[in-house]
């Protein structure tokens, strides 16, 4: 953790230079779980599998800005920070009824839903398939696996055609080196949103078990 904090704070005064050290913190996080990075599903492979198509980053960036300015947490990433952030994302349109993420797989990317809707569902140990939520534009999905390298908690399936912004582990590592203050802000905001979501999901699952 200390090494991560050193990187995020810009430990080296020459961090913006070409000879800045390369970060692989998130790209290699899966090793903590006993698997290689090659076993984690990258966005490039999933995009081919589900028939995702690229769309212009200018349009995607504008959509993300307009959505996050309304978000209580993410609105802090605006102005020049948001302009810089967009360059680290890929933008894609995904057909309906496609599994962008699958429960219990290892995945090295997260997505920001820009339009459309996605079902977030989990297969419970007792056999029930529970719909945890229906993601709406502006929501972030898959950040838990991106941050800790662990398995996906749920299936995330497009209900209709969706446009989304995709951030890979490799891109997040690049952000740490090229824009440490921006990456620190993004990681902090993602962790806060993730904590709130897990608390809400935990409460829902407890209610379902009691029922």
Whole-number pLDDT of residue 73? 81
68: its two tokens: 């996050």
Most confident of 13-22, 47-56, 201-210: 47-56
pLDDT per position as a tens digit, 50-106:
999 999 999 999 999 999 998 888 888 888 889 999 999 999 999 999 999 999 999
CATH of domain 22-198: 2.60.120.10
3-state class (DSSP) for residue 187: helix
Q: Taking residues 23-50, what's their average pLDDT? A: 83
Q: For the segment 162-201, what is each residue's pLDDT rounded down to a tens digit? A: 999 999 999 999 999 999 999 999 999 898 888 887 787 6
Mean pLDDT score, 1-29: 53
Going by C-alpha positions, the residue among 175, 178, 64, 172 that lies closest to residue 112 is 64
Order across the sheet with 162-168: list the strands.
Answer: 53-54, 90-94, 162-168, 109-115, 140-141
CB atoms within 10 A of CB 37: 17
Tell me the per-residue pLDDT of 119-153, one tens digit each, with 9 for 90 and over.
999 998 888 999 989 999 999 999 989 988 889 99
Residue 1 pLDDT greater than 70, yes or no: no
Which residue from 67, 57, 34 is spatially nearest to 151, judged by alpha carbons? Answer: 34
pLDDT on residue 207: 63
| Mean pLDDT on 15-36 | 67
The span from the CA of 97 to the CA of 136, in Å, is 15
pLDDT at 158: 98
Residue 167 main-chain phi, psi, to 5 deg? -115, 120
Total-model pTM:
0.82
Write down the pLDDT at residue 2.
42
Confidence of residue 5 (pLDDT cuts 50, 70, 90): very low
What's residue 21's pLDDT?
56
**What integer pLDDT is reported at residue 209 of this predicted model?**
62
């Amino acid at each position: 953790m200390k090494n991560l904090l050193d990187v995020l704070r810009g430990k080296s005064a020459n961090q913006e230079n070409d000879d800045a050290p390369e970060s692989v913190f998130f790209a290699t996080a899966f090793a903590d779980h006993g698997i290689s990075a090659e076993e984690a599903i990258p966005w490039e492979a999933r995009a081919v599998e589900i028939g995702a198509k690229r769309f212009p980053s200018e349009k995607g960036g504008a959509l993300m800005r307009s959505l996050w300015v309304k978000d209580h947490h993410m609105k802090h990433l605006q102005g020049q920070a948001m302009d810089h952030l967009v360059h680290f994302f890929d933008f894609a349109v995904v057909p309906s009824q496609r599994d962008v993420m699958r429960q219990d797989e290892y995945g090295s990317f997260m997505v920001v839903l820009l339009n459309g809707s996605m079902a977030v569902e989990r297969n419970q140990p007792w056999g029930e398939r529970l719909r945890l939520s229906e993601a709406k534009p502006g929501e972030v999905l898959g950040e838990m696996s991106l941050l800790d390298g662990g398995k996906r908690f749920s299936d995330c399936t497009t209900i209709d055609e969706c446009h989304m912004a995709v951030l890979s582990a490799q891109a997040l590592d690049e952000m740490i080196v090229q824009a440490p203050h921006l990456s620190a802000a993004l990681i902090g905001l993602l962790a806060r949103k993730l904590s709130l979501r897990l608390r809400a999901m935990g409460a829902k699952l407890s209610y379902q078990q009691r029922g």
